[in-house]
Amino acid sequence: MKGKVFDQLIVYYSPTRTKDSFGQKVETWAVYQKAFVSVDYSGSEEIQSERVAWNSNLTITGHYIPVVDTTYRIYWEGNYYSITDIEPLNRKRWMRINASKIID
């Protein structure tokens, strides 16, 4: 992509679902792939009925990876982000990912 510098290292995590001894589904995360991408960070703070809500979003541009979908997670700079949207660009050569921060 012209004008984008892929200088940020992120890690894609894929979900793995298994059953425990009681038959309940347990979701764990495994490293799928590391990639250098371009990251645009945006955040906002809202006050709603006496509580403060913090929104932290990423827009990530990188090479297209066909397996990555909205069930995957992204790890960047010590935080985990859930993928909310994936947009293929330029005949699936690139992709733009929108992700929001996971707050535990």
Residue found under tokens 């066909």: 66
pLDDT at 1: 62
pLDDT at 81: 95
Q: Which CATH superfamily is domain 8-101 in?
A: Bacteriophage SPP1 head-tail adaptor protein (2.40.10.270)
pLDDT at 30: 96
3-state secondary structure the chain: CCCCCCCEEEEEEEEEEEECCCCCEEEEEEEEEEEEEEEEEEEEEEEECCEEEEEEEEEEEEECCCCCCCCCEEEECCEEEEEEEEEEECCCCEEEEEEEECCC
pTM: 0.84
Cα gap 83→58, rounded to integer Å: 9
pLDDT at 10: 97
79-96 pLDDT per residue, tens: 999 999 999 999 999 999
Parse the chain into domains and list their residue ranges: 8-101
> Looking at per-residue confidence, does 64 or 3 come out higher?
64
11-59 pLDDT per residue, tens: 999 999 999 999 999 999 999 999 999 999 887 777 777 777 777 899 9
